[in-house]
Amino acid sequence: MSNDHHRYVADFRNAEVARKIADRLAARKLERTVRLMEVCGTHTVAIWKHGIRQLLPEGITLLSGPGCPVCVTTNADVDLAIALARRPDVTLATFGDMLKVPGSYSSLQQAKAEGAGIRIVYSPLDALRIAQDNPSTSVVFFAVGFETTAPTIAASVLEAERQELDNFYIISVHKLIPPAMKALLDSGEVRIDGFICPGHVSSIIGARAYEFIANDYGIPCVISGFEPLDVLQSIDMLVAQINERRASVEIEYSRAVRREGNKVALELLHRVFEIADADWRGMGILSRSGLKLRPEYSRYDAEQVFDIDSGPTRDHTGCSCGDVLRGAMTPSDCRLFAKTCTPEHPVGPCMVSSEGTCSSWYQYGGGTYGIR
Amino acid sequence: MCLAIPVKVTEITGAVARVEMAGVTREVSVMLLPETQVGDYVLVHAGFAIERIDEQEAAETLRLFSEMETNLEN
Amino acid sequence: MAYDRVLLAHGSGGILSRDLVEKLFLRRFDNPALACMDDSAALNLGFLLPQDGGQAIGDQLAFTTDSYVVKPLFWNGGNIGRLAVCGTVNDLAMVGARPVWLTAGFIIEEGFSMSVLESVAETMRTTADEAGVSIVAGDTKVVERGSADDLFINTAGVGVIPRGVTISARNARPGDMVIVSGYIGDHGIAVLSQREGLEFGTDVVSDVAPLNALVEAILRPPESDSGPTSESVHALRDPTRGGLGTTLNEIAQQSGVGIRIYEDRVPVREGVATACEMLGYDPLYVANEGKLVAVVARCDAEQVLEVMRKQRYGENAAIIGEVTDEPRGKVVMKTAVGGTRIINMLTGEMLPRIC
């Protein structure tokens, strides 16, 4: 096995060390059940994929939060993207994650099958390249994602400016994580004893962004990596804080997260975007929780440049994605889960997104096998 | 919230770096990490290097995992 | 060949058609049945019938067909031609049959490069030779530009199931061991790396290969009285589209059993694992075209493994798990780190993701 792969991947999956951390965790006495929320969808998947729950002692419950950017994108935003894609003069470029998400009446996948110009890309730079290679079409990039992804779109907009591209646009539905965490706490709907904070969002925004949670709400935060040992260690660090009645923001993922974040990425992000209110599926409009292009970059804003009417928005009755996203319900509590709502026939985005809570439960065994 | 994987930087030309891990190579942008040097290990997300991986911190983290320091009162 | 591009006329049945068939295909697939150029191939069944009191090889034929529409047409380790032969040969091998004859139908888009077509045909010939099969009948159609994506190939195959061999995905029993013949995910990643828009470099080579010799070795009656027999092997399946995860589910469901595998025993190349992480794929669901899963009686598993490891295309075979009573119809995996998870069927298309 190559040395590099060992150092940065395999070593963080070592079964013996996992056992050590699990034992250490089990030795901590819990005064009451501890409810920890992993905010980030990628953590939800990592926890299921590696079977982390089996390694935890009794008394620790993990809740999934709203950190799945696909899941929190509203029907209205999906409808807008579909409407744009249907225009004959537009090619919509999107991350693969968004393809199957249902909007009010259709999905990008369906629109694609009906002939809409839709291309799946891995990077916003791929969308730029498509714009360069096809000057006669307008390329609109469906900019979904949190603070990890937004700087990459900001950099791409600046690159479009540098190249003087006049056929590149974005629809920004970018959202910010800390305001969502605050909204969850303010609603008081779910008791959260600690947060497993998203590792890669934190690579960008740093640890300071969460300090208000520890200081104002007294809730411990640990910024966690995504390998199984990272997650186990982070849970151990959270339980230690809880037992010691401490509340601070600790960085488990110190190899990739600096306290102050990535300053260059943040500078580019704020140069191109400004903070605005945003509509979150399941949580409504949260103030100052999203990103919109600044006026000086409005020429790249597809919503302003194209006159689009995506029609009335419709929500699916019976869909409980909102409740699931806030941690108020587990997927198996939902009437539709694994019955009328399955990955083949999803009703809501929580089942569609590969990181959606419902999709993870379904795929890795929570709902159908009863794995805790 | 996102997939980012650790890779090694093998070449840099302007704002584009060639990265490699376990025989897989790709070109990525270093616009968000302009101080990247050849030989650095970086996290790559959506075609961009988003942060440098600190080797010493990585080793330190692994050491901490195995620490048997358990305050049994807690 | 005077023409460097395939024209509509090459498919219309006239002189150009005959030229194409004779000079490009016939010359390469050369065998007596094909050379007759009749409307059908007349094939001698003599080898099936009892001879001088000896037993016939078998009294069951295996028959299968598949179409190949893979994009791109060429990748590191193979091309659509090799795939078209191996895919059908392997389908026959997976029921324990010895493949004998193949047909090959081509649907070619007008304007397709003649030299590329020659290259594909050449590869089909060498692959057929390797597998020990003949391509005895074929068809060529040319369609207007835009009506087909470059080249589509259909192959059908016939094989003989030896007496006493009953291999089926319905036959897995609790207690059986599950063996995979080598590294998984190679083919899918090799093909994906060539696909536009996902450009990444990799030294991963597709595993596309004919597995009939490997299967024959596994099923061959032993030289001694002890040891594995053809009855030791209960099920065989090649984990093509949908990957190992899907195939194991199919076996579990069809046999009404559970399957438990161990993540740290499933062979995955580092390069494949890394490419999968980069794209957000799970190696368990990535296609393989030169691998098989064998479900084998527990007492014979080690010996079957040894036989496989001595064969070409089985060198890296590994026992990855066992068949259980419960949970019926489900596949469970013990993860590298000691946890447990379900392996579900692949739902829909795997898309590269960033989240």
pLDDT tens-place string over residues C326-354: 999 999 999 999 999 999 888 766 666 55
Does residue B14 fall inside a structural domain? yes
The residues, ordered by sequence, that sit 6+ positions from C318 with a Cβ below 8 Å of its Cβ are C179, C180, C182, C265, C266, C267, C305
Check: CB of residue A126 under 8 Å from CB of residue A240: no
H-helix or E-strand spanning residue C319: strand C318-324
Indicate yes or no: CB of A24 within 8 angstroms of CB of B68: yes
Q: Distance, in angstroms, between C102 CA and closest chain A CA?
A: 34
State the average pLDDT for chain C: 91
CB A228 within 8 A of CB A255: no
Cβ–Cβ under 8 Å, residues C333 and C341: yes
- Which residues in chain B have their CB less than 8 angstroms from residue A253's CB? 61
Percent of chain C with pLDDT over 90: 70
C191 backbone dihedrals φ, ψ, rounded to 5°: -70, -45
Cβ contacts below 8 Å, chain A against chain C, sum to 111
Distance, CA of C143 to CA of A138 (rounded, Å): 32
Beta bridge partners of B49: B44
Closest CA to A358 of A60, A70, A75, A81: A70
Dihedral in degrees, nearest 10, Cα atoms A182, A184, A189, A194:
-80
Residue B73 lies inside a defined structural domain of this protein:
no
Contact C201 B26 (CB under 8 A): yes
Residues C68 and C85: their CA atoms lie apart, in Å, by 10
Report the candidate in A220, A213, A205 with the shortest Cα–Cα distance to residue A185: A213
Instruction: Give the orientation angle of helix A228-243 with respect to helix B55-66, to 10 degrees.
Output: 60
Residue A271, chain B, CB below 8 Å: the answer is: no
Mean pLDDT of C169-185: 97
Assign C178 to helix, strand or coil: strand
Q: Which of residues 296-355 of A touch C (CB under 8 A)?
A: 342-344, 353-355
pLDDT for residue A367: 45
What pLDDT is attached to residue B74? 40
Please, are residues C258 and C340 in contact by the beta-carbon 8 Å criterion? no
CA separation for the pair C290, C89 (Å, rounded): 11
> Is there a contact between C274 and A5 if contact means CB atoms under 8 Å apart?
yes
**pLDDT reported for residue B1:** 45
Question: Which residue, among A94, A96, A95, A76, has the nearest Cα to A85 in the 3D structure?
Answer: A94
Is residue B74 in some structural domain? no
Tell me if A337 sits within 8 A of A55, measured CB to CB: no
Chains that touch B (3 or more CB pairs under 8 A): A, C
What is the pLDDT confidence band of residue C47, given thresholds at 50, 70 and 90?
Answer: confident
Tens digits of per-residue pLDDT, C77-112?
999 999 999 999 999 999 999 999 999 999 999 999
Contact between C332 and A122 using a beta-carbon 8 Å cutoff: no
Closest chain B residue by Cα to residue A9:
B6
Structural domains present in chain A: 11-69+177-251 (3.40.50.11750), 75-174+261-305 (3.40.50.11740), 321-369 (no CATH)
Q: Is residue B33 part of a domain?
A: yes
Residues A138, B33, A66, A109: is their CA dihedral positive or negative?
positive
Q: Does residue C224 have a pLDDT over 60?
A: no
Nearest to C327 among A22, A228, A369 (CB): A369
Q: How far apart are CA A126 and CA A130, in angstroms?
A: 6
Structural domain containing residue B60? 5-66
Nearest to B44 by CA among A149, A153, C273: A149
Among B65, B66, B73, the strongest candidate for a mutation testing the A interface, having the largest count of A CBs within 10 A, is B65
**Residue C337 sits at the chain B interface (C-beta within 8 Å):** no
Query: For residue A371, which residues of chain C lie inside 8 Å, CB to CB?
Result: 340-342
Q: Is C347 left (phi over 0), alpha (psi -120 to 50) or beta?
A: beta
**pLDDT over 60 (residue B72):** no
Strands (E), A30-137: 34-40, 60-67, 90-95, 118-121
Touching partners of C (3+ C-beta pairs < 8 Å): A, B
Nearest chain C residue to B46 by CA distance is C354
Tokens of B63: 């050491």
List of chain B residues whose C-beta atoms are within 8 Å of the C-beta of residue C203? 23
Lowest mean pLDDT among A276-280, B16-20, C142-146, C164-168: C164-168
Which band of pLDDT confidence, cut at 50, 70 and 90, is reported for residue C2?
Answer: confident
Query: What is the identity of the amino acid at C258?
Result: G
Check: CB of residue A169 under 8 Å from CB of residue A301. Answer: yes
Question: Residue A356 has what pLDDT?
Answer: 86
Which pLDDT value is given to residue A310? 83
pLDDT band for position C279 (50/70/90)? confident
Residue A139, classed as helix, strand or coil, is strand
Cβ contact A228:A52 at 8 Å: yes
Radius of gyration of chain B from its Cα atoms, rounded to whole angstroms: 16
Do B1 and A257 make contact, defined as CB atoms within 8 angstroms? no
Which A positions 44-73 lie with beta carbon below 8 A of chain C? 48-55, 68-70
What structural domains and CATH numbers belong to chain C? 8-39+61-161 (3.30.1330.10), 177-343 (3.90.650.10)
pLDDT at B73: 39
Q: Is A4 on the interface with B (CB under 8 A)?
A: yes
> Which among A17, A50, A177 is the top mutation candidate for probing chain C, defined by the most C β-carbons within 10 Å of its own β-carbon?
A50
Task: Tell me whether B37 touches chain C (CB under 8 Å).
Answer: no
Q: Does the pLDDT value for residue C36 go beyond 70?
A: yes
CA distance B55 to chain A (A): 7
Residues 223-282 of A with CB under 8 A from C: 228-229
The total number of structural domains that make up chain B:
1
Does any CB of chain C come closer than 8 Å to the CB of residue A100? Answer: yes
Burial of A161 (0-12, 13-18, 19+ CB in 10 A): middle
- Strand ranges across the sheet with A118-121: A118-121, A90-95, A138-143, A168-172
Which range scores top for mean pLDDT: A154-158, B62-66, C269-273?
Answer: A154-158
AA identity, residue C82: R
Q: Do B4 and A148 touch (CB under 8 A)?
A: yes
What's the CA gap between C34 and C37, in Å, rounded?
6
Residues of B in contact with A39 (CB under 8 A): 1
Binned average pLDDT, 10 residues per bin, chain A of 372 residues: 76 93 94 93 92 93 91 94 96 92 92 95 94 97 97 98 97 97 93 97 97 98 96 97 97 97 98 97 94 98 92 85 88 90 86 85 64 42
Bridge partners (DSSP) listed for residue C66: C155
Is the Cβ pair B43, A9 closer than 8 Å? no
Q: Is C290 exposed, middle or buried (0-12, 13-18, 19+ CB in 10 A)?
A: buried
A100 vs chain C: nearest CA distance in angstroms? 10
Measured between CB atoms, which of C332, C339, C352 is closest to A96? C352
Contact C236, C308 (CB under 8 A): no
Distance from CA of C73 to the nearest CA of B (A): 21
What is A278-343 written as a DSSP string? EEETTTEEEEEEEEEE-GGGGGGBHHHHS--------PPTT--HHHHHTTSS-GGGSTTBTTTB-S
CATH code for position B52: 2.30.30.140
Q: What is the pLDDT of residue C353?
A: 58
Instruction: Kindly report whether the peptide bond that precedes residue C327 is cis, defined as omega within 30 degrees of 0.
Output: yes
Q: Looking at the complex, does the CB of residue A356 fall below 8 Å from at least one CB of chain B?
A: no
> How does C246-281 read in b/e, with b if 16+ C-beta sit within 10 Å?
bbbbbbbbbbebbbbbbbeebbbbbbbbbbbbbbbb
How many Cα atoms occupy the beta-carbon half-sphere of B40 within 13 Å?
22
Q: Is C255 left (phi over 0), alpha (psi -120 to 50) or beta?
A: alpha
Residue of B nearest to A158 (CA): B31
Phi, psi of A300 (to 5 degrees): -100, 0
Q: Looking at this predicted complex, what is its ipTM? A: 0.92
Assess whether pLDDT exceeds 50 at residue C45.
yes
Please tell me if residue A120 touches chain C, with a CB cutoff of 8 Å. Answer: yes
